[in-house]
Amino acid sequence: MSIIGLRLLGLFHTIPYTSLNRLVPFVWIAVFFQVISGVTLWITKPAQYLADGMFEVKFTLVVVAIVVMGHFHNTIRREAAGWDSRGPSHRAASNLSLLLACYGPPLP
């Protein structure tokens, strides 16, 4: 996700926007493993995690990151070909994705 966000910010000029579509499945695979590992850890002590306020923050950040990735996936699929010629118009969304990817805590 960081590479996609950095590319949308204008870095990695050698990577065409259309090739970002090939990175998206790897991000979804990572999300899948993150959810599976989080659920597995949560099953061990559900009462403790539900009582902890930080769990709610972690869960919320993961859900927001999944929603942002879904938005990116749809946007990149629709508009990447046009971006190769004129550049992206989603700078704010890419900043949000980088913030979540870099500073969002993992599941428990």
For residue 73, tell me if it sits in a domain: yes
Residue-range definition of the domain harbouring residue 26: 2-103
Q: Give pLDDT tens digits for 55-70.
A: 888 888 888 888 888 8
**Backbone torsions φ then ψ of 61, nearest 5 degrees:** -65, -35
Give CA–CA dist 53/82, Å, rounded. Answer: 43
Percent of the chain predicted with pLDDT > 70: 66
Say what the pLDDT of residue 29 is: 92
Q: How confident is the model at residue 107 (pLDDT cuts 50, 70, 90)?
A: very low
Q: How confident is the model at residue 98 (pLDDT cuts 50, 70, 90)?
A: low
The reply to whether the predicted model has a pTM over 0.75 is no
46-57 exposure pattern, b = at least 16 Cβ within 10 A, e = fewer: eeebeeeeebee
For residue 108, tell me if it sits in a domain: no
Q: What counts of helices (H) and strands (E) characterise the chain?
A: 5, 0
Q: Report the number of distinct structural domains present in the chain.
A: 1
Look up residue 9 and give its DSSP letter: T
